Amino acid sequence: MALTWSPAIPGVPPCDLRRSAVSSLPSARRLSSTIIRSVRASLRLGPLFWPWQKVKVGPLSVSPMGFGTWAWGNQVLWGYQESMDTELQDAFNLALRNGINLFDTADSYGTGRLNGQSEKLLGKFISEFQGPGNVRENVVIATKFAAYPWRVTPGQFVNACKSSLDRLQIDKIGIGQLHWSTANYAPLQEKALWDGLVAMYEKGLVQAVGVSNYGPKQLLKIHDYLTTRGVPLCSAQVQFSLLSMGPEQMELKRVCDSLGIRVIAYSPLGLGMLTGKYTASTLPSGPRGLLFRQILPGLESLLFSLRRIAQARGKTMSQVAINWCICKGTIPIPGIKTVKHVDENLGSLGWRLNSDEILELESAAQDSPKKMIQNIFQTA
């Protein structure tokens, strides 16, 4: 029986070692050249990230993908019920045991009487985690502080941070983030938000600071201000996916790269539209269904490309869509509600789309007549 060796490089076939030993030198050289070209192409695309391999966000080391918890406590959009908490805890435990250590939340997550529920559940799950202590200690919580109209002084933001620490049952938040900018409707409040971040950082309540829903122009302003105060801006969270890859997102990414700021991609699956689980006749309930009805009919070409690449690679459409975000140099934070979500999303790591696949997806996305509706709090 022939011995074979597979270099596991796309486009390079396995070679029979017995035949290779007596093959002509020119053929061997051609094979070597093919391998070298494929390796170089892979290196240009970047490393193959695994959950236990960490990337830097300021002083912090985090997994190349995190998980979002917007749905935890949100009854209106995501249909949360407290009976789901056991499944949520199982999902959290599975993520942690598989190397994911970045979890994103906000002090406004949770509707009505459940306001703050997302932070409360994270705090409970962290404290009850049954596993090595160092795994629990390395959890990085990125929480966002809402720019409520009554938060108009730095002290009020410090108090908000302390309340989050209580709900999370931790001594220090990993990344303290401004949830949105008030530049569009209350520009005079903006300075208080920035000073609030500075105060949290100086008091040691957060290890790093970031922003969410800031466009490139406003990002440059807060970066320059924080620099004068000696506070590094480490992250910028933005809606980023194959449905949200417009000029604004790409310019923000360019600015962040030039300043050493990490881009955290929220809604990498377009609220679920890129999963392939929904059609015009099978829509989610509630407000999401209304949104899907408007956008899904224009996504046939993009969904076709996602499905084709997923089938060719033995992946799911969700895994391909999330991997695209990683290939673009962002840290995606898909939301999780079930163990199945975690298990599937973990399959987004450990491999990379090639350049042809990336080009196909982006071409299909650009040709789609419908795009994701942008966050109303997003600034320029």
Angle between helices 300-313 and 355-367 (to 10 degrees): 160
Give the β-pairing of 55-57 and 60-62. Answer: antiparallel
Catalytic residue among 80, 109, 266, 278: 109
Between CA 129 and CA 107 the distance in angstroms is 22
Q: How far is CA 144 from CA 213, 291, 318, in A?
A: 11, 25, 25
Asked if residue 9 lies in contact with residue 37, where contact means CB atoms within 8 angstroms, the answer is no
Query: Cβ-count burial of 138 within 10 angstroms (0-12 exposed, 13-18 middle, 19+ buried)?
Result: middle
Residue 109 annotated to the active site = yes
Residues 6+ apart with CB under 8 A from 209: 175, 176, 177, 197, 200, 201, 226, 231, 232, 233, 234
Residue numbers annotated as active site: 109
